[in-house]
């Protein structure tokens, strides 16, 4: 690793100014950067002015209702972001090894229907490492929140993040056997429209019916609640409240024991998946490495 000599260190601008530059460059907004850092917009502008004086030229072009990075700013921004990521990773590594507390941000359904059923084996393998789950749909900010690793749903393209695919987020209708029997059975896709549809505004419904060759224009006009998580919709479906559209890999138990049935083999796939995500700079942190190796091995055994 290259070493800085005292002269190089003395030439570095104030850390506070660099911190403000990173936030402004990321948001392209003095207002949002100031709010994030808990300072006034005038204070943020002053820090950028100090930095520009040290650099010897402007880092941002101020235009009506927007700012853009200059060529110098564009060269500097990625390196500054990487430096802060490295600092964060070094701090995390110094704070704890493969013990202590591992904070995992995860989607509620993945937590309840997959992690809860497998996490015991990780705890047995790492008894000195406690796991705290933070269930949320939002994208966490690793640089500012006490989160070590996350499980996200999406396309897997998050710059600066190390990503590992866990499960395909495919989708297909599921319902209780009793609800299916209430109309004499579900024999073709169009039969589903004779039943209550849970969260009819979900785009998965439109895509699945289109793949099945069924017109479903009236779905958008149907009244229905958005429950915000597949786990809730599955519980409603098990109770016979309607038909849910769910990811197969997360409801293997319910399908196996007959609480839910999948009436058709047709499965939708929009290219999304569940991913293990963490900052690239943290890939060698012992507790993150331990969780990554465990979950990838566990998924491979499914």
Q: What percent of the chain has pLDDT over 90?
A: 69
In this prediction, residue 75 carries a pLDDT of 92
In this prediction, residue 90 carries a pLDDT of 67
pLDDT at 296 exceeding the cut of 70: yes
In this prediction, residue 164 carries a pLDDT of 97
In this prediction, residue 266 carries a pLDDT of 97
**DSSP 3-state of 4:** coil
Query: Which has more pLDDT, 83 or 170?
Result: 170
In this prediction, residue 7 carries a pLDDT of 58
Query: Which has more pLDDT, 20 or 94?
Result: 20
Confidence band of 141 (pLDDT split at 50, 70, 90): confident
In this prediction, residue 94 carries a pLDDT of 59
Q: Give the residue extent of every domain in the chain.
A: 6-95, 101-168+272-301, 171-257
In whole angstroms, what is the distance from residue 126 CA to residue 131 CA?
10
**How big is the CA angle at 107 (ends 101 and 113), to the nearest 5 degrees?**
95
In this prediction, residue 1 carries a pLDDT of 47
Q: Could you report the per-residue pLDDT of 37-80, keeping only the tens digit for each?
A: 899 999 999 999 999 998 899 999 988 888 999 999 999 999 88
Handedness of CA 38, 39, 45, 47 (dihedral sign): negative
Within 8 A by CB and 6+ apart from 52, the residues are 58, 59
In this prediction, residue 244 carries a pLDDT of 97
| Domain 171-257: CATH architecture, name and number where available | 3-Layer(aba) Sandwich (3.40)
Task: Quote the pTM value.
Answer: 0.68
Average pLDDT over the chain reads: 89
In this prediction, residue 9 carries a pLDDT of 56
> For the domain with range 101-168+272-301, which CATH number is right: 3.40.190.10, 2.60.120.10, 3.60.21.10, 3.40.50.1820?
3.40.190.10
Mean pLDDT of all residues in 91-109: 76
Confidence band of 88 (pLDDT split at 50, 70, 90): confident
Mean pLDDT of all residues in 249-278: 96
**DSSP 3-state of 169:** coil
| Domain 6-95: CATH architecture, name and number where available | Orthogonal Bundle (1.10)
Does 101-168+272-301 match 171-257 in CATH topology?
yes
pLDDT at 169 exceeding the cut of 90: yes
Looking at residue 139, the DSSP 8-state letter turns out to be: P
**DSSP 3-state of 70:** coil
Q: What are phi and psi of 66, to 5 degrees?
A: -160, 160
pLDDT at 95 exceeding the cut of 60: no
């Amino acid at each position: 690793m290259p070493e800085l000599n005292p002269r190089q260190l003395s030439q570095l601008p104030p850390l506070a100014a660099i911190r403000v530059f990173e936030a402004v460059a990321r948001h392209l907004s003095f207002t949002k950067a100031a709010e994030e850092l808990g300072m006034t917009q005038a204070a943020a502008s002053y820090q950028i002015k100090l930095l520009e004086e040290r650099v010897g030229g402007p880092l941002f072009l101020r235009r009506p209702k927007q700012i853009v990075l200059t060529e110098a700013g564009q060269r500097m921004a990625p390196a500054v972001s990487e430096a802060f990521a490295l600092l964060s990773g070094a701090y995390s590594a110094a704070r704890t090894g493969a013990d202590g507390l591992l904070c995992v941000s995860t989607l509620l359904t993945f937590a309840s229907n997959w992690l809860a059923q497998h996490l015991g084996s990780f705890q047995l393998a790492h008894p000195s490492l406690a796991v705290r789950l933070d269930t949320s749909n939002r994208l966490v900010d690793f640089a500012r929140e006490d989160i070590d690793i996350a499980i996200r749903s999406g396309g897997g393209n998050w710059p600066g993040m190390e990503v590992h695919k866990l499960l395909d987020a495919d989708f297909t209708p599921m319902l209780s056997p009793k609800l299916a029997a209430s109309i004499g059975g579900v024999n073709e896709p169009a039969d589903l429209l004779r039943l209550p549809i849970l969260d009819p505004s979900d785009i998965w419904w439109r895509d699945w019916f289109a793949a099945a060759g069924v017109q479903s224009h009236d779905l958008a006009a149907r009244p229905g609640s958005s429950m915000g998580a597949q786990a809730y919709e599955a519980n409603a479906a098990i109770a016979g409240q309607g038909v849910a559209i769910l990811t197969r890999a997360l409801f293997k138990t319910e399908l196996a024991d007959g609480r839910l049935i999948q009436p058709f083999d047709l499965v939708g796939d929009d290219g999304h998946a569940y991913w293990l995500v963490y900052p690239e700079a943290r890939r060698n942190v012992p507790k993150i490495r331990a969780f990554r190796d465990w979950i990838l091995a566990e998924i491979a055994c499914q």
